[in-house]
Amino acid sequence: MKRKSFSGILPTNVHGNSRGEKIRRKVLAPGERFLIVTADDYGASRNINEGIELAARQNIITTISALTNFGESLAGLSSIAHEFPDIGIGVHLNIFTGCPITNPDLIPSLVNKEGDFHAIESLLPVIRHVSGGELRTELRAQIQALTDIGISVDHLSDHNGILSLYPPFFHILCELAEEYKLPVRSPVIAGLKYHAVFPGSSAARQGANVFRSFFRSNPVRALSVISDFRLLRPGEKISKLNRAGIVYPDLLIEYFYGNPTSSNLDYILNHLPPGISEIILHLGTGTRQQDYPGGLNIAYFENRELELATVSRFDLDTRLLKLQIRKIGFSDIARLRHL
């Protein structure tokens, strides 16, 4: 398959890439490219926390998306916020990994019989029975956990994308973003919008495999759930965000996941479309612990190490400067769009 490119519409008058550099122009000019570099999943395990801390020290990331239901990691998050105040810290809203902040007895539709969150494979068969009120209660608790330790919440994202993908959950995500006046991760995924440029992403294949397994085990229920997922298309989601005045990047780049090589990262940057994109990193070290929370994708740990090794040796800032891409955070979006 011949991959399309965005050549011919790349910027010719943008200089600098450091997030510390003040952005003077209030409105995006045609062809300008900006990149939010986010490390996901802080909190879930020691190796993930260590990987993100190393990326912060190397000035690789502009944003951290934290799983705040892991209260034992909040002290480390506070240390990062103090040492690296330019890194935005957001809440990675989570209903898959570990246990909730809320008493499980108060949110029975979100938990299994042990009181832990459902893993994605066990959530899909019961997703239609999740209470919207219970979901709001737990997600508010996760946001509050960050503010309780004195960190100003930078943005909202959702673990495994389920809140963005499932329309009833997306409505609740929008309500919370509007209530707390917070930016959100874009619901527009690069591999779907620009399939010819970013074909066959590992993240998309992994999601498809989960649904295939669900369909094999319960085809009738799977068909009805799949139809629910299709009720709200990406363009309709964007319209909803715009009507609510919610700030978001233009595009979510998931293409590094599963292929964490320097050549792939270079490809992504060379083919970054105009506007504001967010690339998500899943980082980790070789540290291992005895037990892990339910729902955590341990099979990806070696790839987390590879992602960290790749971005550590890549010299991202130099490459962005050469390509005239400016590295930013969620807090810069409103200024760039003159909101």
User: Higher pLDDT residue, 57 or 5?
Assistant: 57
pLDDT, one tens digit per residue, over 26-71 is 456 778 999 999 999 999 999 999 999 999 999 999 999 999 999 9
Does the residue 241 lie in any domain? yes
Q: Structure pTM? A: 0.90
Q: Is the pLDDT of residue 11 over 60?
A: no
Does the residue 101 lie in any domain? yes
Percent of the chain scoring above 70 in pLDDT: 91
Q: Is the pLDDT of residue 20 over 80?
A: no
242 confidence band (pLDDT: 50, 70, 90): very high
pLDDT of res. 131 = 98
User: Higher pLDDT residue, 286 or 26?
Assistant: 286
Nearest to residue 284, comparing CAs of 14, 71, 64, 45? 45
pLDDT of res. 339 = 55
17 confidence band (pLDDT: 50, 70, 90): very low
Please give the mean pLDDT across all residues of the chain.
Answer: 90
Q: Is the pLDDT of residue 338 over 90?
A: no
265 CB-contact burial (10 Å; exposed 0-12 / middle 13-18 / buried 19+): buried
List the CATH number of the domain containing 206: 3.20.20.370
Q: Number of structural domains, the chain? A: 1
Chain centroid, CA 209 distance in Å: 20
User: Higher pLDDT residue, 319 or 233?
Assistant: 319
Does the residue 299 lie in any domain? no
Does the residue 168 lie in any domain? yes
- How many C-beta atoms surround the C-beta of residue 3 within 10 A? 12
213 confidence band (pLDDT: 50, 70, 90): confident
| Mean of pLDDT values over 125-149 | 97
Does the residue 305 lie in any domain? no
| Mean of pLDDT values over 246-256 | 97
Rounded to the nearest 10 degrees, the angle between the axes of helix 74-83 and helix 46-57 is 0
Does the residue 294 lie in any domain? no
Does the residue 23 lie in any domain? no
Nearest to residue 257, comparing CAs of 207, 221, 320? 207
Q: Is there a contact between 172 and 163 (Cβ–Cβ < 8 Å)?
A: yes
| Mean of pLDDT values over 191-198 | 93
User: Higher pLDDT residue, 8 or 113?
Assistant: 113
Q: Is there a contact between 28 and 269 (Cβ–Cβ < 8 Å)?
A: no
pLDDT, one tens digit per residue, over 165-175 is 999 999 999 99
Q: Is the pLDDT of residue 308 over 50?
A: yes
| Mean of pLDDT values over 6-23 | 38
pLDDT of res. 29 = 73
> What domain range is 251 assigned to?
33-288+317-336
Q: Is there a contact between 98 and 294 (Cβ–Cβ < 8 Å)?
A: yes
Q: What angle do CA 322, 328, 331 make, to 5 degrees?
A: 170
| Mean of pLDDT values over 237-263 | 97
| Mean of pLDDT values over 243-268 | 97
